[in-house]
Amino acid sequence: MKPIGKIAASAMFLIMTAGLSCTVEKSDLSKENLIPRPVSVTATGNYFTLQKGSGIYLQGNSEELQHIGNYLAARLKPATGFELAVKTAGSEAPQGNIYLSLDPKDSKNGNEEYTLEITKATVKLTASSAEGLFRGVQTFRQLFPAKIELATTQEGPWKIASGTIIDSPEYAYRGFMLDVARHFFGVDDVKRLLDELAYYKINMFHFHLADDQGWRIEIKSWPQLTLHGGLTEVGGDKGGFYTQEQYSDIVKYAAERYITVIPEIDMPGHTNAALSSYPELNCNGKAPDLYTGIEVGFSTLCTSKELTYKFIDDVVGELAALTPGPYLHIGGDESHATKIEDYIPFVKRVQDIVLSHGKKAIGWDDIAISEMKPGVYAQHWASVKNAQLAVKQGSKILMSPAVKAYVDMQYDSTTTPGLHWAAYIEVDSAYNWDPAKLIPGVAKENILGVEAALWSETIKTMSDIEYMVFPRLPGYAEIGWSPASSRSWDEYKLRLAAHGEKFKALGINYYHSPRVPWAGDKK
Ligand code: TNX
């Protein structure tokens, strides 16, 4: 073969290096590890790069839009070190910028839909409501490398894949319940949890505020509830409670993340803390001692006393006034100490009290043995029969089957803390179910949504909360958000594995399940 000449060789070198600079790997937006999985993703192979001088441009006139712009800037600042300016946009954002657009005309799929268009030049997030924009902002956050969530400045570049995501949720209600009665958790813990829920597009926070072991919300007309009934918790430690101001602060913090707070006062059972605070709520007029064990089903309000209904009306009235969301939860579970002939009219009357304060009522599925009024929902946790009974009465069901969605259930027999009376729930089991296929006669149109519940008999610290919640929560979030037909554990577990890095960056204490191929683990 003839040796190639010098000129030809250098020409070839030029061609090769030119070739090299073009072989920057193409991006693939459809392979990004988003949870919940978006409804539609179209990849275009490029990258958008966030830079020091990038700005967040707002289109549309609303205070909420400004808040979302500020929220996004605040989320991106610590790791990038960029002070992204939030500005009002003209008709188009200049290149290199993020564009948030609120267009109320655009609603096809309800409030939470959004479109995220990423090109080499700009990121455009469009939604018909601020809520939709907020959900889209979470998707945008997840597209960056995990280190975007770190609290200290990191090296860039801050590149994300280009393409278009069009997204909206399957269920309008995607909830999480925290029991602060068995163990009390302070405002800062609750806020941290709300931030974690928001990252996965959870939109309802069910706050279990009273149980046998403690009453956690200040009620001004019945002050002993917290002054006496808030003093204990499981194990005998000191407990605690939220002042109305603190509760409102939590409600506001949640609202800023487009999360609705649903307060629960469990009744007529699970009421020892109240009964201990006010002897007159007991049929025998005697106050029992405060309770710090974990048995259930031994307490009941005195359903035959008129004072009981005045008490409930006062409590519901104060809570309704403090709670902007549409729902109030009345509990109703495991009232083994209440005779069934007393329980049925009690539940009927309490529904009326809640409705009279302008709220919709939710109760555990036990309430279906009573008459259920329009605008009252049953939360399925244990009884298939009760869920079916509720549907027969025209009620919608909130799905929290204990065998799948109780995150106080242990992963396996080696898990501490937790319980296992319903099941051991490994991460795949928590993910592998379809709310619309679980109960014969309870179809998609009968379902309000999905909720994971964390009971806190054995949960004492924020670190315990996170260990039980993660990594199961992203799975519940996806069950609530993404169409069942698009979900499979084998595909999901790879996306979840990539979220391990995000949990670490966020400082979340998570269970390192052997069923998930975490990055860095040996195959
Ligand atoms: C059942 S679920 C309960 C709670 C317990 C939980 C423990 C429900 C409506 N009642 O009172 O905390 O089990 O897993």
Q: Whose CA is closest to atom 5 on ligand 1?
A: 455
Place 2 in a pLDDT band, splitting at 50, 70 and 90.
very low
Least confident range of 105-114, 328-337, 471-480 = 105-114
**β-strand 55-59 against 98-102: which pairing, if any?**
parallel
Phi, psi of 337 (to 5 degrees): -90, 0
Does the pLDDT of residue 421 top 50, yes or no?
yes
* Average pLDDT in the chain: 94
The predicted structure's pLDDT at residue 206? 99
Ligand 1 pocket check: which of 299, 455, 456, 459 to mutate, most ligand atoms within 8 Å of Cβ?
455
Region 222-229: what's the mean pLDDT? 98
Distance 408 CA to ligand 1 centre (A): 9
pLDDT at 14: 46
Out of 178, 296, 403, mutate this one to test ligand 1's pocket (max ligand atoms within 8 Å of CB): namely 296
For residue 385, what are the contacts with CB-CB under 8 A and spacing of at least 6? none
pLDDT exceeds cutoff 70 at 239:
yes
Q: Which of 449, 495, 501, 454 is nearest to 474 (CA)?
A: 495
**Contact 423 CB / ligand 1 (< 6 Å):** no
SS (H, E, C) 30-61: HHCCCCCCCCEEEEEEEEEEECCCCEEEEECC
Ligand 1 touching residue 419 (CB < 6 A): yes
15-24 contacts at long range (C-beta below 8 A, 24 or more positions apart) = none
pLDDT-above-70 percentage for the chain: 94
Check: CB of residue 40 under 8 Å from CB of residue 156: no
Assess whether the C-beta atom of 364 lies below 6 angstroms from ligand 1: yes
- In the reported structure, the alpha carbon of residue 457 is separated from the centroid of ligand 1 by a whole-number distance in angstroms of 9
- Cα distances (Å, whole numbers) of residue 238 to 1, 78, 109, 188, 291: 89, 36, 47, 18, 12
- Determine the pLDDT at residue 523: 52
pLDDT bin (cut points 50, 70, 90) of residue 61 is: confident
Structure tokens at 147: 């280190």
pTM above 0.75, yes or no: yes
Per-residue pLDDT tens over the stretch 149-203: 999 999 999 999 999 999 999 999 999 999 999 999 999 999 999 999 999 999 9
pLDDT at 16: 47
Q: How far apart are CA 185 and CA 241, in angstroms?
A: 9
The mean pLDDT value for 477-502 works out to 98
pLDDT computed for residue 55 by the predictor: 95
124-133 average pLDDT score: 96
In 3D space, the residue among 180, 177, 185 whose CA is nearest the CA of residue 204 turns out to be 177
Check whether 509 has a pLDDT greater than 60: yes
> In this predicted structure, what is the pLDDT of residue 89?
82
Of the chain, the percentage scoring pLDDT greater than 90 comes to 90
Please name each of the domains of the chain with its CATH number.
Answer: 24-167 (3.30.379.10), 173-505 (3.20.20.80)
What is the chain's percent helix, strand, coil content, to nearest 5?
Answer: 40, 20, 45
**How far, in Å, is the centroid of ligand 1 from the Cα of 455?**
7
Q: How far apart, in whole angstroms, are the C-alpha atoms of residue 64 and residue 70? A: 10
What pLDDT digit, counting tens, does each position of 64-97 carry?
A: 999 999 999 999 999 999 999 999 887 677 888 9
**pLDDT confidence of residue 156:** 95
Q: With cut-offs at 50, 70 and 90, classify the pLDDT of residue 110.
A: confident
The reported pLDDT for the residue numbered 446 is 98
pLDDT digits (tens, 9 = 90+) for 17-43: 444 445 578 999 999 999 999 999 999
What is the C-alpha separation between 402 and 364, in angstroms, rounded?
12
Q: Is the dihedral of CA 475, 478, 483, 487 positive or negative?
A: negative
How far does residue 181's CA lie from ligand 1's centre (Å)?
12
What band does 107 get if pLDDT is binned at 50, 70 and 90? low
522 pLDDT exceeds 70? no
Asked whether residue 402 carries a pLDDT value surpassing 80, the answer given is: yes
- Give the integer Cα–Cα distance in Å for 91 and 122: 13
